[in-house]
Homo-oligomer: A and B are copies of this chain.
Amino acid sequence: MSFSPLIQDLIDAFRVLPGVGPKTAQRMAFHLLERDRHGASTLATALTVAAEKVGHCSCCRTLSENELCSICADNSRDESQICVLESPVDMLAIEQTGGFNGGYFVLMGHLSPIDGIGPDDLGLDLLFKRLESGAVKEMILATNPTVEGEATAHFIAEQIKHLDIRVTRIAHGVPVGGELEYVDGGTLAHAMAGRRSMN
């Protein structure tokens, strides 16, 4: 015996979510079908709309349904500083420290030759164009303190050493091997304050 096809399809579909194994997927499917059909429809709509409408900010590459994200569209931000991050959630983490008022650039990943992720996949052309425009005086490399994050930071620093821009790396106040997303605000604010020059 197995579940009827539509139920099995739903269980299988939940497996696309990170950290969701067969038992969890089954529990999710039955929870919604037995107790929350309205929640199931709301989730379906949110998924459809987001998958269709959410693209990337044309300036910083973060996920956004608008041409410019709310930060790039904000004229009060300091154009002379740009903070380079791996992911949109890291942007939220830095914003929540309240200690940074510059702009951002989101790589949406890190260099990973083994996965075939090179400079083009990280939008580095767009970053370099922004740096070459002359407005940026300091670039803070805030990629994750992992092997890949460090390698990505060093690669970017190397590529722009001909430009008169101060390049800094957030301090190792953040635990080595960890991910920015899970660091508390105090540690992250400390790491930003203790950033050191890379050139």
Contact = CB atoms under 8 A, between A and B. Distances in A.
A7 interface: yes
Interface string A71-84: 10000000000000
A60 to B, nearest CB: 12
Interface in A18-37: 18-19, 24, 26-34, 36-37
A164 to B, nearest CB: 30
Contacts of A12: 46
A36 B3 CA distance: 26
A46 B92 contact: no
State the number of copies, please: 2
A154 B162 CA distance: 82
A135 interface: no
Contact of A3 (B19, B30, B88): B88
A69 interface: yes
A129 B74 CA distance: 68
A65 interface: yes
Interface stretch (A50-58, A144-152, A165-173, A186-194): A50-58
Contacts of A30: 63, 87-89
A5 to B, nearest CB: 7
Contacts of A54: 4, 6-7, 33
A95 B1 CA distance: 6
A44 interface: yes
B41 A44 contact: no
B7 A34 contact: no
8 contacts: A1-B91, A7-B63, A10-B46, A26-B89, A29-B50, A34-B63, A34-B88, A41-B51
Given A7-B88, A13-B46, A37-B51, 10 more contacts: A4-B64, A4-B69, A6-B49, A14-B43, A18-B31, A34-B63, A40-B51, A41-B47, A44-B51, A47-B47
